[in-house]
């Protein structure tokens, strides 16, 4: 089946799709399209990234009407999305130690997955990216080329609502250890998130360079660090209270490139 035929199959009412005797075969074809990168849950458009609603709805339908089953290693999950396996021909390095990639996730050639890491259904991880230990690539997250997701970085999943744009981390971005990026935030190309930065769509990012404020977007090349700001109330002032807030302190330069360079030995 072609992409258009699969799309047309899922365009029907959900109950009709679930009752179709060919659903299992179409679901398998759908998974292959996702894993080949021929179908994605979000794509860049003229005005930014756009969710591919039909793809996310099809993923959600995969959970309905399927049964639980045990897998090797003591896992129990829905039959629609078992763990992926890889061969030498795919050129993906999955280091032993407990990582898992779910069916329906695209992982490109030369990606390195350090243990234990997890890549969920609908995610897209492009060439040369490092997914470090304890890192999460959530459902439908879009990760660009040569991105470094450092240890314990959490890239949140956005599967529902189906029309919501997932988290996007664009080419050559660096996401530091213990960072969290959630709710469809877009991290621009070559941006750097220092360790501990947490971003949601409502988080205000204060840009000290351009004297601007950003929500839901880290500009290309921005270097973001954890900061704090005062709380404007009498009680907060009396207690010296502040709240955490991310701050852009500079834009990427050669010094930044040197400090965030991946060790060639790890490759």
Entry pTM: 0.94
Nearest to 121 by CA among 80, 86, 182: 80
Largest CA-CA distance found in the chain, in angstroms, rounded: 67
Residues of the chain with pLDDT under 50: none
Contact 191, 252 (CB under 8 A): yes
The tens digit of pLDDT for each residue in 149-198 reads 999 999 999 999 999 999 999 999 999 999 999 999 999 999 999 999 99
Separation of alpha carbons 114 and 125, rounded Å? 14
pLDDT of res. 262: 53
* pLDDT score for 264: 55
By C-alpha distance, which of 210, 211, 217, 209 is closest to 250?
209
138, 164 in Cβ contact below 8 A? no
What's the confidence (pLDDT) of residue 257? Answer: 76
Place of tokens 């930044």: 256
Provide the residue ranges of all domains of the chain, joining segments of one domain with +. 3-253
CATH topology of domain 3-253: UDP N-Acetylglucosamine Acyltransferase; domain 1 (2.160.10)
pLDDT (0 to 100) of residue 246: 98
Strands of the 180-181 sheet, one edge to the other:
100-101, 118-119, 136-137, 154-155, 180-181, 198-199
Give, for 169, the enclosing helix (H) or strand (E): strand 168-169
Handedness of CA 144, 87, 94, 200 (dihedral sign): positive
CA distance 241 to 32: 52
């Amino acid at each position: 089946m072609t992409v258009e035929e699969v799309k047309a199959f899922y365009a029907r009412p959900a109950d009709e799709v679930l009752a179709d005797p060919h659903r299992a075969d179409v679901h398998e074809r759908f998974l292959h399209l996702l894993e080949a990168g021929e179908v994605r849950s979000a794509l860049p458009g003229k005005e930014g990234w756009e969710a591919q609603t039909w793809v996310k709805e099809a993923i959600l339908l995969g959970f309905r009407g399927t049964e639980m089953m045990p897998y090797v290693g003591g896992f129990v999950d829905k039959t629609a999305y078992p763990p992926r396996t890889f061969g030498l021909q795919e050129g993906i390095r999955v280091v032993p130690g407990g990582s898992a990639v779910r069916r329906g996730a695209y992982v490109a050639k030369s990606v390195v997955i350090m243990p234990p890491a997890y890549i969920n259904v609908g995610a897209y991880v492009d060439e040369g990216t490092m997914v470090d230990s304890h890192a999460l690539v959530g459902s439908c997250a879009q990760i660009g080329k040569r991105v470094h997701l450092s240890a314990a970085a959490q890239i949140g999943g956005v599967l529902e609502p189906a029309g919501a744009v997932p988290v996007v981390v664009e080419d050559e971005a660096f996401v530091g250890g213990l960072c969290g990026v959630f709710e469809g935030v877009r991290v621009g190309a070559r941006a750097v998130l220092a360790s501990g930065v947490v971003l949601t769509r409502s988080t205000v990012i204060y840009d000290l360079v351009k004297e601007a404020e950003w929500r839901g977007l880290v500009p290309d090349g921005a270097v973001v660090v954890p900061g704090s700001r005062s709380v404007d109330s009498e009680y907060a002032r009396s207690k010296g209270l502040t709240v955490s807030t991310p701050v852009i302190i500079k834009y990427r330069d050669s010094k930044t490139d040197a400090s965030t360079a991946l060790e060639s030995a790890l490759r």
